[in-house]
């Protein structure tokens, strides 16, 4: 695997070595030993999967607070997404900045987001399957979110607001309030 540092310290792009021939392909999608060698000790305890039926579905920006914070390793099995990580670590020199990457079934890239980031993704193709590992269990009482189009974060989603498909919960997410 190839681990690529992003413009913000912490999030990493992970590119697997894909072996293909006339039968199809094979790649190792995760190795604890390799991951720890390049990232450090992270123990994933939960795997999640979502299907988004339509292009334009936007999920996020989500995070968990305090002891329930989560690091995530994300990938797309089918279709494609624009995946976004926003630095919300208090005191971070890149607080409020974001990094984005296109993940797809075709490019097989993965995105590691450490604790202390809000996460969201925009579905770029119908019938996209998105999978991710978390290093902490989901805790509804620690859940937080910010509005996908919050001007403080100014994420460039590359889509017009009229095309975005949101859950009711994401549509009502609060804006970040500067102190």
**pLDDT > 90 fraction of the chain, expressed in percent and rounded:** 98
Best CATH choice for the domain 44-171 from the list 3.40.50.620, 3.40.1130.10, 2.60.120.10, 2.40.30.10: 2.60.120.10
Active site (annotated) includes residue 62: yes
Of 98, 119, 132, 146, which is the active-site residue?
132
| pLDDT at 178 (0 to 100) | 64
H helix intervals, the chain: 32-38, 168-171
In the predicted structure, residue 179 carries a pLDDT above the cut 70: no
Active site (annotated) includes residue 132: yes
| pLDDT at 177 (0 to 100) | 84
| pLDDT at 129 (0 to 100) | 98
pTM of the model: 0.95
Domain boundaries, the chain: 44-171
Of 62, 98, 119, 146, which is the active-site residue?
62
């Amino acid at each position: 695997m190839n681990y690529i540092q992003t413009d913000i310290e912490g999030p990493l792009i992970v590119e697997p070595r894909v072996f293909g021939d006339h039968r199809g392909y094979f790649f190792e999608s995760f190795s604890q030993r390799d991951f720890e060698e390049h990232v450090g000790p992270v123990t994933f305890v939960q795997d999640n999967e979502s299907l988004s039926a339509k292009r334009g579905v936007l999920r996020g920006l989500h995070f968990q607070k305090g002891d329930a914070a989560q690091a995530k390793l994300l990938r797309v099995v089918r279709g494609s997404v624009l995946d976004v990580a926003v630095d919300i670590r208090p005191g971070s020199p890149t607080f409020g900045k974001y990094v984005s990457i296109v993940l797809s079934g075709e490019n097989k890239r993965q995105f590691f987001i450490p604790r202390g980031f809000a996460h969201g993704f925009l579905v770029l193709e119908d019938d996209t399957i998105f999978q991710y590992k978390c290093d902490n269990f989901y805790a509804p009482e620690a859940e937080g979110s910010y509005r996908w189009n919050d001007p403080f974060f100014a994420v460039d989603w590359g889509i017009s607001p009229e095309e975005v498909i949101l859950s009711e919960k994401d549509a009502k997410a609060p804006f970040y309030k500067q102190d």
